[in-house]
Structure 1
Amino acid sequence: MKGGGGIAFPTEKKVAKLIKQGKNQMTNDTEWIIISDSSKRVSSLGEKFAIPIAVRSEAIDFVTTTLFESFTALAVARRGKNDNDGNFILDVKVKPHDVQKEWEEEIESIPGVVCSGLFLDDYADPIWVTSPDGSIDIYLPEQK
């Protein structure tokens, strides 16, 4: 289940990376399905929601400055909310259509960043999106 509060996204990211690693090293039998509600559906990242980024406390100023200089992204620290591992969470606002696939790796390589809430690197197989009327839309990944 895809969350929305940003507190558990580092755990979601760890699971996604383990499944992706398993798919690359073993067989393609491993499948990761994301289930979400329609309120999270957007045509472009940055359209409705900030991107959460988990950051070590001592690196908040450096990461915030780097995000602005490198990505023209504005980062705001969440007050009183840490992730499940105690890291600070930055809510990063970007312009819709600015996010590039490379951003996930580039942001996560900034010293002090634990992980980002970006899942751009072919993690999920199908994505199931539920609607208020009970219907389910299934989105399949693009074939390479």
Structure 2
Amino acid sequence: MTNDTEWIIISDSSKRVSSLGEKFAIPIAVRSEAIDFVTTTLFESFTALAVARRGKNDNDGNFILDVKVKPHDVQKEWEEEIESIPGVVCSGLFLDDYADPIWVTSPDGSIDIYLPEQK
């Protein structure tokens, strides 16, 4: 990201985890013709199980794979490695310091704001 761009993430408190893979699968957008190749590569390279969302595509028509990993297995390099697999459009991994503030809402209506150095 350039210095003149601010990227804000807004989430609810149910999405907070101490480790990726703890509660949720990681979404990965994949071109339709590459689904089998990407699924096999994810398993062989990361021991990750990928399941295609039925009837769900991203805004550009790409398939979405929900990728299940073991908690604490995700490494910082994974984002770049996964996104370099032919056919992968993007992943739901945000392991670099992308967001400026992260806003997390709670059921009581309160909002916690985390700045990059607090993540």
Change (3 A) 1:50 1:27: closer
More helix by share: 1
Deviation at 1:58, TM superposition (A): 1.0
Measured on the aligned residues, the alpha-carbon RMSD in Å equals 2.0
Structure 1 unaligned regions, length at least 5: 1-25
Name the SS of the counterpart of 2:41 in structure 1: helix
Deviation at 1:134, TM superposition (A): 1.5
Name the SS of the counterpart of 1:142 in structure 2: helix
Question: Residue deviations 1:62-84, cap 9 Å, x none?
Answer: 10010001001000011111111
Q: How does 1:62-77 map to 2 (within 5 A)?
A: 62-77=37-52
Structure 2 unaligned regions, length at least 5: none
Change (3 A) 1:27 1:70: closer
TM-score of the superposed pair, with normalisation by structure 1: 0.77
Deviation at 1:61, TM superposition (A): 0.7
TM-score of the superposed pair, with normalisation by structure 2: 0.92
More strand by share: 2
Name the SS of the counterpart of 2:118 in structure 1: coil
Question: Residue deviations 1:65-121, cap 9 Å, x none?
Answer: 100010010000111111111111110000111111111100000001111111112
Identity of aligned residues (%): 100
Equivalent position to 1:57, from 26, 32, 44: 32
